Amino acid sequence: MATDQGGNILRPLHTLFRLGAIGQLTDGQLLTRFMERGGEAADAAFAALVERHGPMVLRVCRRVLDNPHDAQDAFQATFLVLVRRSSAVCRRDSLGSWLHGVALRVAGNARRRDLRRRRHERLNAERVPGADDCPDLGGKLDLERLLHEELGRLPDRYRAPMVLCYLEGRSCEEVAHRLNWPLGTVKSRLARGRERLRGRLVRRGVVPTVGTVVATLVAERAMGAIPVALEEGTIRAAIGLAAGRGATVKLVSLAAAELMEGALRTMTVSSRKAIAMGLLALGIAVVSTGSLMQRAVGDAPTPPSRELEMTPLPSYVVEPPDLIRVDVHEALPSQPIQGERLVRPDGKISLGYYGELYVAGLTPREIKEKLILHLRTFLTEEQLGLSVPDSTQSGRSRLVAAADSTRVSVEVTAYNSKVYYVQGDVASPGRIPITGRETVLDGLSYAGGLSSPAAESHIRLVRPVPGGRAPEKLLKVDYQAIVEKGDPTTNYQLRPGDRLIVSRDPKSKPTQEQEAKEQATNIAIERRLTAVERRLDRVIELLEGRKAPSPANESEPKPEGL
């Protein structure tokens, strides 16, 4: 690529992009061109991707990281990860969604690295930490940061259009073109994504309206453009890295290079975990088949292996007081069915004009089937999506199973009936709803992270045994292995009733605020005990027939008896 004497590079690339030579290509086409071609064509394709998605990536990094220099390091690391893992992007046309997830991961690693550095400096200086010395991962979380975290946890079918539409400012028509989806699909998934995002925020203790969610995401676009030097330096380093020139990594800061390597290690561990889970599922299937064959020939059944405990939890069963969203897209015009329904203590939900429906003890799929059966009294099969046009025979229709109807949807928006507990030295201990997909790290994150005196080596998971007859299981959590090494071995999947307990570090010194609080508590307890003792003395004296002394005479000697 040509570079002028003043050091300004990529001018021809920007010119090509602005003139539309490659600007109309989809993300998948640009990524393919970058991977399969060399020279200026590949360089121009990557520059177009940075110019297209760079502002969104930088906003994510700035929102997670308070230090602007750290945010720029995370920005560069995100695109260097794209160079190294471009072949691993499965859905290339939704590259914005993939980059959003990588940026969140890289920025989160940078934030944890900064937290460890501050703790190390505090211990070396042997000083008492103040309230602002060492903020934990859960501190200073605002709505925007929570939005990005929960947006990153949405399924890609919802996250991809929301990133393109709200964070990058694309129109619905442009999003439909880039993702190769029908326009109606884009609009419906945007609506569902907004509701699901709001539901996840409610679980984090934030209760915004859907309009607030959208307004906050859109407002992110006003945070400013990418500095020219940052954009050009990132593209230059990425192009050099792709060409195999290892020294080009020196074009970025050491921190950016370390963040890239850390993200790559984490992604490698995740890939290996997915492969291991696939092999585990295959092994379970083989073991199950072998057990059936042994039973067929009369052999004794084989006891289940311990690995079976790692299988996914069953589908979520709705109970009071869960919230479920019920949408019937073609209900009666004057009697719509749309929005959230509270599962009442009697196990029913209200459908207004259409009556009530008992849903307790059912999965969302079973509720959908039961709802369609209930509504057949009021609506036609076409309105319920049970009869659709047959694409193979013109003018004819075919029947569809109730569970496969696209015109009726049921999903849980607030998981209130099943919970786990996070206790001890975390920012916000308490009772947290569970969906069945949370892990130990999720639980600690939802509780606001570890507090300053918490012991990373003293975290344990207490799991109740069904029926309560056997002692509870005690599982030790290796927090440092999970966070620093990417080892998921003790990042257990949480189950209803689990208690995640974080103990205080016995070597840590309490802060002045904690000492003052404990002292005030002890004084209050002593005063209350003294008052109780005085009242008991007076009651005893009255029972013995004595006259209770007045407060002024309490110090005088008491008579020895009647």
408 confidence band (pLDDT: 50, 70, 90): very high
Is 298's pLDDT higher than 70? no
Task: Encode pLDDT of 495-524 as tens digits.
Answer: 888 999 998 766 666 666 666 666 777 777
Query: In the prediction, which pLDDT does 433 show?
Result: 85
247 confidence band (pLDDT: 50, 70, 90): very low
Percentage of the chain modeled with pLDDT above 90: 12
Closest to 459 (Cα-Cα) out of 469, 470, 449, 472: 449
DSSP-based helix, strand, coil % in the chain, nearest 5:
55, 15, 35
**Does the domain spanning 323-388+397-414 belong to CATH 3.30.1950?**
yes
Answer for the pair 51, 231: CB distance below 8 angstroms, yes or no: yes
Query: In the prediction, which pLDDT does 146 show?
Result: 78
222 confidence band (pLDDT: 50, 70, 90): low
Q: Tokens representing 439?
A: 């892990």
With a threshold of 0.85, does the pTM exceed it? no
Closest to 480 (Cα-Cα) out of 446, 510, 444: 444
Q: Across all residues in the chain, what is the average pLDDT?
A: 76
Percentage of the chain modeled with pLDDT above 70: 70
More confident residue, 387 or 38: 387
Task: Encode pLDDT of 76-134 as tens digits.
Answer: 999 988 888 887 777 777 788 888 888 888 888 888 887 777 776 666 654 444 434 44
Please compute the mean of the pLDDT values over residues 477-483 and round it to a whole number: 86
Which DSSP category does 381 fall into?
T
Please compute the mean of the pLDDT values over residues 182-208 and round it to a whole number: 79
More confident residue, 101 or 448: 101
Query: In the prediction, which pLDDT does 508 show?
Result: 62
Query: In the prediction, which pLDDT does 133 show?
Result: 42
Please compute the mean of the pLDDT values over residues 204-224 and round it to a whole number: 63
Query: In the prediction, which pLDDT does 513 show?
Result: 63
Q: Tokens representing 249?
A: 């990594």
d(CA 399, CA 203): 38
Closest to 237 (Cα-Cα) out of 259, 255, 256: 256
More confident residue, 413 or 374: 374
Phi, psi at 360, each rounded to 5°: -60, 135
Please compute the mean of the pLDDT values over residues 143-150 and round it to a whole number: 78
Please compute the mean of the pLDDT values over residues 366-387 and round it to a whole number: 92
Q: Which residues are bridge partners to 388 per DSSP?
A: 398
Return all residues near 171 (Cβ < 8 A) that are at least 6 apart: 165
Task: Encode pLDDT of 14-37 as tens digits.
Answer: 544 443 556 678 888 888 888 876
Closest to 317 (Cα-Cα) out of 499, 493, 496: 496
Please compute the mean of the pLDDT values over residues 207-220 and round it to a whole number: 63
**Does the domain spanning 419-504 belong to CATH 3.10.560.10?**
yes
Query: In the prediction, which pLDDT does 276 show?
Result: 52
277 confidence band (pLDDT: 50, 70, 90): low
The full set of domain ranges for the chain reads 11-266, 323-388+397-414, 419-504, 512-548
For residue 210, give the 3-state DSSP assignment: helix
